[in-house]
Amino acid sequence: MDFDDLIDRRNTFSSKWDKMEPIYGVPADGGLPMWVADMDFRAPPVVLKRMQQITDHGILAYANNDDEYTAAIQWWMKTRHGWEIDPSWIFTTTGLVNGVAMCLDTFTAPGDGVVLFTPVYHAFAKAIRAAGREVVECPMVNNDNRYEMDFAAYDAMMTGSETALILCSPHNPGGRVWTKEELQGVADFCKRHNLLLISDEIHHDLVYPGHTHIPMPLVDASINDRLVMLTAPSKTFNVAGLHTGNVIIADDALRARFAARMAALSLSGNSVGMFVAASAYSPQGAEWVDALMLYLDGNRKLFDAGIADIPGLKSMPLESTFLSWVDFSGTGMDRAEFTRRVEQEAKIAANHGTSFGTGGEMFLRFNFGTQRARIEDAITRLRAAFADLQ
Ligand SMILES: Cc1ncc(COP(=O)(O)O)c(C=O)c1O
């Protein structure tokens, strides 16, 4: 577990490293990619060992490993999140965005409104629009650099054409770990407006000390008949390339509809991704995540301290995730200018806040899931790019 090892990911078909130049104009040589939400760390040793066993054996044929995979998820949910599930509730999708898209396809109809609390992970809106549904933005309140929900305002915005809500819990990009009261508010809102609740909890393991993630079913069991839970090993163990998402549905009627849609499309899991997930959701995987979180916490503090030192820049205090949401409104610059400085002067690729929906206009999102030396480098670059504000 050497998180400090400066692994060179260039020219490996890495989206984060090898697409930074074509997309952001940040040079492959000397640029620093802080956009795509994967980490620059090797996967846990227990995962790499399993991959090695598979390649040593040399057989990549049909596999029947559902039981191993679902038992591992069941164990993880119980030991790490206090949530008891039945293995029969679990479906495997091609990553979690695919899980979201499958929910939209199964449970909503073209033209339906799908509610998002914005700003929020950009792929949700893309999936909603691509499916011919309508994005219904409910902007969050930025209360003293912390996102909160305003249900009274959202109640007034509902038109009756909304049929689902996608919740990001914990929240990307604001890093909030929603409290029990806030989650109860979401559950009540869904009941009031008869919405299916698609709860994307992919960041559930990446929570910092002092905060506890609560799985949605533990908040209010009475919403099980309108709840679909989504998790994945992608973020927790840095295995997004294996495209394995877990869709968990406790309610019999919802589960039957989802199963029918999966069957109609002949969708089944990628067995290598499922082998990897099974190895990762284990005591050894848990030990790795604990060590990872200590390291990420160090990065978070270093990055936040560096940003706080640059007049005009402000990062949102993160309770979860390795994605820092930085507000540039205090610079007095327009979006084009602060973005130009980050990309062309600091030579850093960071996600544009506009892609996360209303409320993201003056923000950039920086991924600090990388070696600490690169965080120090990032801060030095940003300080120089905004030196005239010192
Ligand atoms: C909230 C959320 N859901 C889903 C994903 C992507 O999941 P996957 O790669 O398994 O499709 C991300 C990636 O950043 C995310 O932040």
pLDDT band at 153 (very low <50, low <70, confident <90, very high): very high
Q: Residue 3: what residue type?
A: F
**What's the whole-number mean pLDDT along residues 256-264?**
98
368: tokens are: 């600090």
Of all atoms in ligand 1, which is nearest to the CA of residue 120? 1
How high is the pLDDT of residue 390? 74
Read off φ and ψ for residue 258, nearest 5 degrees: -65, -45
Read off φ and ψ for residue 92, nearest 5 degrees: -110, 130
Q: Which residues does ligand 1 sit against, CB inside 6 Å? A: 37, 95-97, 121, 168, 172, 200, 202, 232, 234, 240, 245
- At 287, is the secondary structure helix, strand, or coil? helix
Read off φ and ψ for residue 78, nearest 5 degrees: -75, -50
How high is the pLDDT of residue 136? 98
List residues bridging with 138 in a β-sheet: 117
Contacts of 275 (CB under 8 A, 6+ apart): 50, 54, 63, 65, 68, 69
Whether the pLDDT of residue 358 is over 80: the answer is yes
pTM more than 0.85 = yes
How high is the pLDDT of residue 44? 98
- Of 172, 230, 365, the one to substitute when testing ligand 1's pocket (max ligand atoms within 8 A of C-beta) is 172
Of all atoms in ligand 1, which is nearest to the CA of residue 243? 10
Task: Report whether 108 contacts 279 (CB < 8 A).
Answer: no
List residues bridging with 228 in a β-sheet: 198
Write out pLDDT tens, residues 309-334. Answer: 999 999 999 999 999 999 999 999 99
Of all atoms in ligand 1, which is nearest to the CA of residue 97? 11
Whether the pLDDT of residue 1 is over 90: the answer is no
Q: How far is the CA of 228 from the centre of ligand 1 (A)?
A: 16
Write out pLDDT tens, residues 338-357. Answer: 999 999 999 999 999 999 99
How high is the pLDDT of residue 277? 96
- Of 16, 92, 96, the one to substitute when testing ligand 1's pocket (max ligand atoms within 8 A of C-beta) is 96
